[in-house]
Amino acid sequence: MNEASPLGGLNRTFETGRTRPIEWRRAQLRGLQSMVAEQEESILKALAEDLGKPAQEGFAELAIVGGEVAHSLKHLRSRMKPRRVRTPMVGQPGRSWIQPEPVGTVLIIGAWNFPFQLLMAPLVTALSAGNCALLKPSELAPATAALIAELVPGYLDVEAVAVVQGGVEETTGLLRERFDHIVFTGSSHVGRIVMRAAAEHLTPVTLELGGKSPAVVDAGADLVSAARRIVWGKCLNAGQTCIAPDYVLVDTAHRDALVDEIGKVLGQWYGDDPDKVGDYARIINDRHYERLVSHLSEGRVAIGGGVDAGRRFIEPTVLVDVAPDSPVMTEEIFGPILPVITTESLGESLDFVARRDKPLAAYLFSRNTGSHNRFVERISAGSICINDTLMFMTVPDLPFGGIGPSGMGQYKGRAGFDRLSHLKAVMKRGRWPEVSIRFPPYNRIKMRLLRMLG
């Protein structure tokens, strides 16, 4: 490893034990808390520059990070405490416990769609667990990346938290180095690259990879509420959200009514020309814009369909009569295009979802408690939300992460703290009395006693 690398300095800081005490952890969390509060205006400006993100949507990023910090501060002492476990008779006299300890230096690779939140939320967890951290913001959100690099040294321990900017070359270089844990948010394609690189050093990874998150609308659901909440989840950040509803499954008899309600909501929120409304973000770059435009021909446009290449604008669009094997139904959309697929029953909808890759999130809209239970039991997903979208992110105690192709590991709440800690097993034995039945010479009496104790 190059001695000039930020990783070397971070590792040396960690080796001194400086990051372990609760006082240091609290100081870093409070520094991050101050940064969010004091730099709100500049952060919102950077998010608007990178993504055309409305101030209210940008503030949601800051609020989630601030909530994570406050929650971690409240529970930090209890999470750091040794966790006593029962010692069986065969281990007496003795005590046993689990001792959480920091893993070392964590590489956090952020994503461009929520370039502040998706870098800082894992940082909250890493600092809470007593680790050093190397932050790699997304180069596709350059204003936010530059601002983070400018702000972090003013609020956090510069010898324990560092920022590296750059693109593919810089990220590839970082992945060649030996970290103690890697947290990556992004595409499945890049996630595989990260995992292969981590395997060289047997480095554990936490991967948040997205996928196709379904929204199932049960027969008898409140269509007005479902339409409003699906549209909000889909149009936030112009659909560039890893947990946005990617497609809707609804029974044939209620499809047109649901689509009508979606149209009403869009009209109320954005009017006849969403391009002129300041409440709607833009597509991040030309490559993603062109990819999304190609999906518009893969079904019948029931609502929207307007585009403007110069402004990277795509109108909120609903597609119907979409083939289940079309690219828009097999690739993560990551944009404001919503296919609506018809089924004949809730069971058919559940089968449709279960046959596909496990999603990062799954949503059900239903008045029926039995349907709620059936959905939770049948559908395997990183997170599930019933009768809403995205809102589980506001609950600090709920872990966040994917399963299977949508990711692995979690970085929120107690689950995140444990993920970025080593849960060290400790046993302390008394010296007396000495139980000698485990020692040679062996005989049948000792064997009988061991069977009884075991």
Compute the distance between CA of residue 207 and CA of residue 210 in angstroms, rounded to an integer: 9
DSSP codes, 105-147: EEEEE--SSSTTHHHHHHHHHHHHTT-EEEEE--TTSHHHHHH
- Residue 137 and residue 166 in contact, taking contact as beta carbons nearer than 8 Å: no
* Intervals of the chain under pLDDT 50: 1-3
The whole-number pLDDT of residue 90 equals: 83
The whole-number pLDDT of residue 449 equals: 86
The whole-number pLDDT of residue 302 equals: 98
Q: 435: buried, middle or exposed (CB in 10 Å: 19+, 13-18, 0-12)?
A: middle
How does strand 383-386 pair with strand 181-185? unpaired
Tokens of 411: 């970085």
Query: So which residues are the catalytic ones?
Result: 208, 242
Compute the distance between CA of residue 301 and CA of residue 297 in angstroms, rounded to an integer: 8
Tokens of 393: 């992110």
How does strand 307-308 pair with strand 213-217? unpaired
The phi-psi region of residue 211 (left if phi > 0; otherwise alpha if psi is between -120 and 50; otherwise beta) is left
Residue matched to tokens 């690779």:
109
Compute the distance between CA of residue 380 and CA of residue 362 in angstroms, rounded to an integer: 8
Q: 62: buried, middle or exposed (CB in 10 Å: 19+, 13-18, 0-12)?
A: buried
Cis peptide before 405 (omega within 30 of 0): no
For the chain, the domains span 6-209+402-426, 213-394
The whole-number pLDDT of residue 4 equals: 52
At the topology level, CATH places domain 213-394 in Aldehyde Dehydrogenase; Chain A, domain 2 (3.40.309)
CATH classification number, 6-209+402-426, choose in 3.50.50.60, 3.40.50.720, 3.90.105.10, 3.40.605.10: 3.40.605.10
- Residue 187 and residue 113 in contact, taking contact as beta carbons nearer than 8 Å: no
Compute the distance between CA of residue 235 and CA of residue 280 in angstroms, rounded to an integer: 7
**CATH topology match: 6-209+402-426 vs 213-394:** no
